[in-house]
Amino acid sequence: MCGIIGVSGIPDAARLAYLGLYALQHRGQESAGIVAMDRAAVARPYRGMGLVSEVFDDSVLAQLPGDVAVGHARYSTTGSTVLANAQPCSVNTRCGPLAIAHNGNLTNAAELKRDLVERGAIFTTSSDTEVMVHLVARSEADTVEGQIREALEQVEGAYSLVIAVGRTLYAVVDSRGFRPLVLGRLGSGMVVASETCALDLVGATIACELRPGDFVRIEDGQVTELPRLSPRPVSRCVFELVYFARPDSTVFGESVDRVRRDLGRELAREQPAPAGEVVFSVPDSSNAMALGFSEVSGIKLEHGLIRNHYVGRTFINPTQNLRVAKVKIKFNPVRDVIHGKSVVVVDDSLVRGNTSQSLVQMIRAAGAREVHLRLASPPITGPCHYGIDTPTREELIASTHSIEEIGEFLGVDSLGYLSLDGMLRAAGSATGFCHACFSGQYPTPVPEDLVQLRHASPLIATPA
């Protein structure tokens, strides 16, 4: 997953993009980058590994002048943690300097790449975004917009994009609308961002959320709607609401916090835990869900787990005889709340199960009499091919185990998952969502080799 931002018509656009990326940091912590365009349409890129606050400092931002900028925060995905893959991708094309920030994942990138390579294209990254850039550069359409459109007509999958070509900004969302993208106004300029929380931080007011298939051009802060992309059935990513987006954002027209409280309420109705004496969340992602659960169930809300926010990305384990589960570094139970009680633990979802298993053990060690785990989404049975870095099917505990088996594995007294219907009710609509990872109903064809591509070497491999 990634966070993207675009700025047009605002002096010192790179600093604004930096600020916006700060608010989008939860969408990607692997790398951060900004490309700024100055008045003469000279593009200056800067990308680095790590958090926005680590990559950028005052002296770096001072070298990125201009009132147009594109920014990107990239999620840590297995096997490709290399600077070459950091975005925005910036190149020189016949349309001029082009910078592109991409949130989502293409499903036919491997196939398109094979064809492009045959035709003499050279690739410097293993990212699917570079495929789009080649398609744009090679399109023979008359206008830049025509070139972008021609390229997008060839790709399949999920893409919310911010593209700068010279001083012109484009914002696009694929016709299925997997990933969010929102347009805001700040003074006489415009800001495009993955989530509204970025607009809040920079002080922009929300103009509108881009609909699936929307394609707009922004020049000097002026927005022009371009003809929309060919329509497809809408399939918004429900996991954005369940887990990914920040609760203070409005995504797909819904308050994320509101949806999460409703998920908790639905969960309490579908999967009550009558034996529970206290209910608490696994902070912070399921805080609102525990609140909703408590409200409907009448079980008293507590803070049973404390999260250590100082956990760095590298952690050194003591030697063998002192090995500490990483989850212990991150969470510690509040003994006073838990001791002797029958507790209900609310979490948003369950992926591999290892973290939850450790958490349950920790809660039991703190004296819980009974542990009832409630999950505010259905069992995850398949990988996401649209941009969320879920593990392979084999690693997803719910793809190979029954709920009963999972409960045993976790060591809980009871386990309850929210139903697909319940989740969609809370999300605000029973249709228009992609819930492939829960239901197996993938809205696009999924080529066999897509998985391989996703786990390909970060380095340049010979195509054999």
The residues that are catalytic are 2
Q: 10 Å Cβ neighbour count for 432? A: 17
Binding to a second copy (CB under 8 A): which residues in 425-444? none
Q: Which stretch binds a second copy (CB under 8 A): 9-17, 169-177, 234-242, 409-417?
A: 9-17
Q: Measured from the CB atom, is 53 or 400 closer to a second copy?
A: 53
- In angstroms, rounded to a whole number, what is the distance separating the alpha carbons of residues 198 and 399? 35
**258 touching a second copy, by CB under 8 A:** yes
Among the listed residues 9, 333, 379, 443, the single contact to a second copy using CB under 8 A: 333
Q: Measured from the CB atom, is 227 or 318 closer to a second copy?
A: 318
- In angstroms, rounded to a whole number, what is the distance separating the alpha carbons of residues 255 and 134? 37
Note whether 28 and 102 are within 8 A (CB): no
- In angstroms, rounded to a whole number, what is the distance separating the alpha carbons of residues 365 and 123? 53
Shortest reach from residue 320's CB to a second copy, in Å: 10
Residue 191: C-alpha distances to residues 36, 200, 220 (Å): 14, 11, 11
Q: Which stretch binds a second copy (CB under 8 A): 48-56, 153-161, 400-408, 419-427?
A: 48-56
- Sequence-distant (≥ 6) Cβ neighbours of residue 103 within 8 angstroms: 1, 2, 3, 4, 27, 158, 159, 160, 161, 179, 181, 194, 387
Q: Measured from the CB atom, is 248 or 389 closer to a second copy?
A: 248
DSSP track, 385-426 = SSS-----GGG-HHHHS-HHHHHHHHT-SEEEEPPHHHHHHH
- In angstroms, rounded to a whole number, what is the distance separating the alpha carbons of residues 354 and 129? 33
**Residues 298-327, mask of contacts with a second copy (x by CB under 8 A):** --xxxx--xxxxxxxxxxxxxx-xx-x---
Binding to a second copy (CB under 8 A): which residues in 263-302? 284, 287-288, 291, 295, 300-302
Q: Measured from the CB atom, is 118 or 225 closer to a second copy?
A: 118
Report helix, strand or coil for 362.
helix
* φ/ψ (deg, to 5) at 126: -105, 15
Among the listed residues 49, 226, 296, 334, the single contact to a second copy using CB under 8 A: 334
**459 touching a second copy, by CB under 8 A:** yes
DSSP track, 230-272 = PP----EEHHIIIIIS-TTSEETTEEHHHHHHHHHHHHHHHS-
- Sequence-distant (≥ 6) Cβ neighbours of residue 119 within 8 angstroms: 138
User: Which one-letter amino acid corresponds to residue 37?
Assistant: M
- Sequence-distant (≥ 6) Cβ neighbours of residue 127 within 8 angstroms: 80, 85, 87, 89, 102
- In angstroms, rounded to a whole number, what is the distance separating the alpha carbons of residues 122 and 116? 8
Binding to a second copy (CB under 8 A): which residues in 206-235? none
Shortest reach from residue 334's CB to a second copy, in Å: 5
Shortest reach from residue 167's CB to a second copy, in Å: 9
Among the listed residues 76, 81, 154, 332, the single contact to a second copy using CB under 8 A: 332
DSSP track, 275-310 = T-SEEEESTTTTHHHHHHHHHHH-PEE---EEE-TT
Q: Measured from the CB atom, is 227 or 319 closer to a second copy?
A: 319
Binding to a second copy (CB under 8 A): which residues in 344-383? none
Count of residues interacting with a second copy (CB under 8 A): 101
Note whether 194 and 181 are within 8 A (CB): yes
Shortest reach from residue 287's CB to a second copy, in Å: 6
Among the listed residues 19, 163, 397, 434, the single contact to a second copy using CB under 8 A: 19
Bridge partners of 48?
32
**80 touching a second copy, by CB under 8 A:** no
Binding to a second copy (CB under 8 A): which residues in 185-204? 187, 197, 200-203
Binding to a second copy (CB under 8 A): which residues in 86-125? 90-94, 96-98, 117-124
Shortest reach from residue 451's CB to a second copy, in Å: 19
Among the listed residues 2, 8, 15, 31, the single contact to a second copy using CB under 8 A: 15
Binding to a second copy (CB under 8 A): which residues in 233-252? 246-248, 250
Among the listed residues 23, 172, 181, 384, the single contact to a second copy using CB under 8 A: 23
Q: Measured from the CB atom, is 57 or 405 closer to a second copy?
A: 57
